[in-house]
Structure 1
């Protein structure tokens, strides 16, 4: 590497804005939802399967939304629920989750809303915005 390349690459790293660090989604384990609900947290459940195309499309939309607005990750607990593991669980039954690719938002124990098998960025954004409004109210 010559000196010019070294200087330019160093300068570029100082000039470029730092990319916002996105909070990772938390993987569901039994009791996690109850813990966050009892604390009054705003929770966004994503029931998905690794083999599900609709789930992957929803995941891309959610990732894009969180990149556009850091307030989502700062105020909402995003929980991934593995459909293959927890699709027939007591929790999924209690919440009446009909299938994978279901997104559900809660503030404490109160359901804010849900989306089933919808990949529309507009509709998913409405649900995440409603969760953010509840979280910051």
Structure 2
């Protein structure tokens, strides 16, 4: 890495909004399940890169997180790649019907979900369940 690249990277990092530091955690088998079992507040997004509904949900989630830092303080955000894990044990155990399914957990139990919904009010209501 050149000095110039290092300096540009540091400058970009310094200008990044704080919410960008709290990205979605890419799911690995057992990771979200462990967080849920430990009683953490966990938001799980079952999404595919090619899914337009998923992209719309993602933009709404990012905007809501930017507007309310309390979400990042209270909730661990996991993204489950539908193409890799949509037929996996975790998705099956939760009866996830399709990609673009959002699920919130508190104290080890599901407290709400949105399936294929893109309305800001619905996604905000789901996130509010984690506060």
Range into which the TM-score falls when normalised by the shorter chain: 0.7 to 0.9
Q: Which runs of 4 or more aligned residues in structure 1 lie more than 4 Å from their structure 2 counterparts after TM superposition?
A: none
**Which ranges in structure 2 are unaligned for 5 or more consecutive residues?**
1-14
CA-atom RMSD in angstroms: 1.2
1:65 alignment counterpart: 64
- Contact 1:36–1:108 under 8 Å retained in 2: no
Q: For each residue in 1:37-63, what CA deviation from the matched residue of structure 2 results, as whole angstroms up to 9, or x when unmatched?
A: 222100000000000000000000000
Work out the number of aligned pairs and report it. 115
Specify the structure having the higher radius of gyration (Cα).
1
With the length of structure 2 as denominator, give the TM-score of the two structures: 0.84
Aligned positions of 1:1-137 closer than 5 A? 20-22=17-19, 23-132=22-131
1:15 alignment counterpart: none
Query: How far 1:113 moved relative to its partner?
Result: 0.2
With the length of structure 1 as denominator, give the TM-score of the two structures: 0.81
